[in-house]
Structure 1
Amino acid sequence: MAANATLLDQLMGSARNALPGDRVKEKHWSDDGVCKYYLCGFCPSELFTNTRSDVGPCDKIHDPDLKRMYEESKERYSKGYEERFLDYLEDIINQLDKRIERGYARLKRSASAKAEKMIGNVEDTVRDKINDISTAINEHLTQIEELGAQGMVDEAQAMMAQVEALEKEKNSYGARTGSRVIAGFEAADDFHVKMEVCDVCGSFLVIGDTQSRVDSHLLGKQHLGYARIRATITEIKKSREERRQQMREEYKKKRESREAEKSSSKGRESRSSRSSKSRSRSRDRHQRRRSRSRSKERSRKNRSRSRERRRSRERGSGRDRSPHHHPYSRRHSSHHDSPERRRR
């Protein structure tokens, strides 16, 4: 039922049962009911339907539109969905690899047990054969003694040749048993090399099987599903490393830009400091020149006032020494000028 409901949601939308006048809340890819594994690529429950690795149907929403919105969103990597998806896929592969190891161990144990069983059976047969040969040799030796007692030398020699042949056959069986190079062991070894475990999905394969059976295995849901999981793990790790490398390069560029800006700021501050120091020195020189100029001006004024005071004193002292000097002499004399002078 849950699988049918999920299928209807994918075909008709989650609001398929809403009435025309009902207000329907639009789904967002971050909602709890949305399958995050499907957003990141695929839902593993869809890979192994009706196989030995079937994990059952997924009860969450698989919406292609939500998946497209997620892939176009700038927040897709900040939510951590891909990290959880990668952890889940790696857990599946780790369990599969353990199963593959157990498969190899099972093949080895089966081959070894089969070989030991077959070797034991063959060794019992060889021992029985050796006992039979030994009995025949003893019987032939008894007959040889009887023939020699009867004077039948030619018959006794012929019987001795048979005994020598039986001894060679007995020794050959003993050597083959000691070296374990026997038909049963070779058959057991053939059983071991004919079986192998698929490194992708863990299935048992028969070496040298027909091409149709090999193709059927390679195109099966289980093999294709595990192959897709392994490829997706590699792809996610590669993409993650590329993003990290890009982030490292962007951080390096920003750091170099900040250092260049800081160096430029220091250069501007240094030039500004030198410029302010130069202006300060220029102002100091200007002020010193103005101060010297004022000082010289004051000195000139002081010297000029001193000369004027000196001259004034000298004039005053000269008038005091003249006997005809009177402050009103000129004015008085002007009053007594002659009429002709006044007319002039």
Structure 2
Amino acid sequence: MAAEQRKLLEQLMGADQLIGTGAQGRNSQLSITDPKVCRSYLVGTCPHDLFTNTKQDLGPCPKVHSEGLKAEYDSASPAEKAKWGFEFDYMRDMQKYIDDCDRRIETAQRRLEKTPDEIRQTNNLLKQIADLNNTINTGLLEVSVLGETGSVAMALNEMHKIRTAKQQKETAERDLKNLQDTSGPSGHQKLQVCDVCGAYLSRLDNDRRLADHFFGKMHMGYSDMRKGFKKLSSELKGRAPPVRHVEEEDPYSAGGRSGGRGPRYGGGGGGGGFRRRGGRW
């Protein structure tokens, strides 16, 4: 509750006017390199600000959003920005939430997969349709040969078999379509998973409902984050992150003192060592 009240006050008064509040005014002299400052906010958009009032609301950011420090960062020279290396922190922050989203997408897609029995029924119907199609083609060839030899009675008998095979094939194709429409836990709804934000979509939705989704805050937030990550990784390709002193490390990062692991960036010059998951950025 206190964090939400503080966030509301920051919006009304400006974050800089609140920096001096808190235990003994400990934030009154924050520098731009202080680990308590949100580096994602300085470089671009903090993920905590992207999904407010959505299903993926992350709550208030635990770090300081200072408009003054953001203005200082924006006016800094390229050399100063390269020395700080906040872009690498921003990439790491975005990748954390992109990876979480990708895991939700994979889980949601597995929930829509067919059961083993549905897969067996599908394979049986496909084999039955293929066999009947082969019977029909062979029968038509046989009728042609019998007609040329004048075996009319045998040709008529073969035509009867062909008509029967065609009816059986039509029945099998209808069964296959019905199985495909209703298979899976929610198959009757024709659900699919959005590969950007992980939400369920129905193929039966009209254009208005689809537009509400694709222009919704959650979808646009993940779309902007993925585009920003891809653009920044391209810009930083071949650049090594700066070497930082211990007191400059971000305590919330994988390389900070509380993370227990080394930074994920800083290897091979391939976009700072960030990885791509599942063919998506």
Asked if the contact 1:196/1:207 (under 8 Å) is kept, the reply is yes
Q: Which residue of 2 aligns with 1:185?
A: 176
1:77 is aligned to 2:82: yes
1:245-284 → structure 2 map (5 Å cutoff) = none
1:1-344 → structure 2 map (5 Å cutoff) = 1-12=2-13, 13-14=17-18, 25-74=28-77, 75-109=80-114, 113=118, 116=121, 176=168, 181=172, 183-191=174-182, 194-241=190-237
**What SS class does the counterpart of residue 69 from structure 2 fall into?**
helix
CA distance in 2, matches of 1:10, 1:78: 30
Go from structure 1 to structure 2 and tell me whether the alpha carbon gap of 1:50 and 1:114 turns closer, same or farther (over 3 Å shift): farther
Residue 224 of structure 1: how far off its partner (Å): 0.8
Quick one: which amino acid aligns to residue 197 of structure 1? Answer: V
Deviations 1:123-162, CA, capped at 9 Å, x for gaps = xxxxxxxxxxxxxxxxxxxxxxxxxxxxxxxxxxxxxxxx
Asked if the contact 1:6/1:62 (under 8 Å) is kept, the reply is no
Bigger relative contact order (CA 8 A; separation at least 6): 2
Residue 217 of structure 1: how far off its partner (Å): 0.4
CA distance in 1, matches of 2:117, 2:206: 26
CA distance in 1, matches of 2:35, 2:106: 37
Higher-Rg member (1/2): 1
The list of structure 1 runs, each at least 4 consecutive aligned residues, that deviate by more than 6 angstroms after superposition, is none
**What SS class does the counterpart of residue 77 from structure 1 fall into?**
helix
Residue 44 of structure 1: how far off its partner (Å): 0.5
CA distance in 1, matches of 2:8, 2:30: 17
Go from structure 1 to structure 2 and tell me whether the alpha carbon gap of 1:81 and 1:191 turns closer, same or farther (over 3 Å shift): same
Go from structure 1 to structure 2 and tell me whether the alpha carbon gap of 1:112 and 1:200 turns closer, same or farther (over 3 Å shift): farther
**What SS class does the counterpart of residue 205 from structure 1 fall into?**
strand
Asked if the contact 1:198/1:204 (under 8 Å) is kept, the reply is yes
Asked if the contact 1:115/1:185 (under 8 Å) is kept, the reply is no
Asked if the contact 1:33/1:60 (under 8 Å) is kept, the reply is yes
Residue 87 of structure 1: how far off its partner (Å): 1.6
209-218 or 98-107, which moves further after superposition?
98-107
**What SS class does the counterpart of residue 81 from structure 2 fall into?**
coil
Asked if the contact 1:34/1:61 (under 8 Å) is kept, the reply is yes
| Structure 1 unaligned regions, length at least 5 | 121-167, 245-344
227-236 or 88-97, which moves further after superposition?
88-97
TM-score, normalised relative to structure 1: 0.46
Identity across matched positions, percent: 30
**What SS class does the counterpart of residue 196 from structure 1 fall into?**
strand
Deviations 1:247-268, CA, capped at 9 Å, x for gaps = xxxxxxxxxxxxxxxxxxxxxx
Asked if the contact 1:104/1:197 (under 8 Å) is kept, the reply is yes
Asked if the contact 1:96/1:202 (under 8 Å) is kept, the reply is yes
Deviations 1:85-119, CA, capped at 9 Å, x for gaps = 202212322232233233333222269749959x9
Go from structure 1 to structure 2 and tell me whether the alpha carbon gap of 1:211 and 1:35 turns closer, same or farther (over 3 Å shift): same
CA distance in 2, matches of 1:10, 1:52: 22
Asked if the contact 2:51/2:58 (under 8 Å) is kept, the reply is yes
Residue 54 of structure 1: how far off its partner (Å): 2.2
Quick one: which amino acid aligns to residue 196 of structure 1? Answer: Q
Residue 2 of structure 1: how far off its partner (Å): 0.5
TM-score, normalised relative to structure 2: 0.55
More helix by share: 1
Q: Which residue of 2 aligns with 1:155?
A: none
**What SS class does the counterpart of residue 59 from structure 2 fall into?**
coil
CA distance in 2, matches of 1:14, 1:87: 28
Go from structure 1 to structure 2 and tell me whether the alpha carbon gap of 1:242 and 1:208 turns closer, same or farther (over 3 Å shift): farther
CA distance in 2, matches of 1:106, 1:206: 15
Asked if the contact 1:6/1:61 (under 8 Å) is kept, the reply is no
Residue 214 of structure 1: how far off its partner (Å): 0.4
Residue 47 of structure 1: how far off its partner (Å): 1.3
Go from structure 1 to structure 2 and tell me whether the alpha carbon gap of 1:79 and 1:180 turns closer, same or farther (over 3 Å shift): farther
| Structure 2 unaligned regions, length at least 5 | 126-159, 241-281
**What SS class does the counterpart of residue 226 from structure 1 fall into?**
helix
Residue 180 of structure 1: how far off its partner (Å): 7.3
CA distance in 2, matches of 1:113, 1:86: 42
Residue 48 of structure 1: how far off its partner (Å): 1.6
Alignment: residue pair count = 190
Go from structure 1 to structure 2 and tell me whether the alpha carbon gap of 1:116 and 1:55 turns closer, same or farther (over 3 Å shift): farther
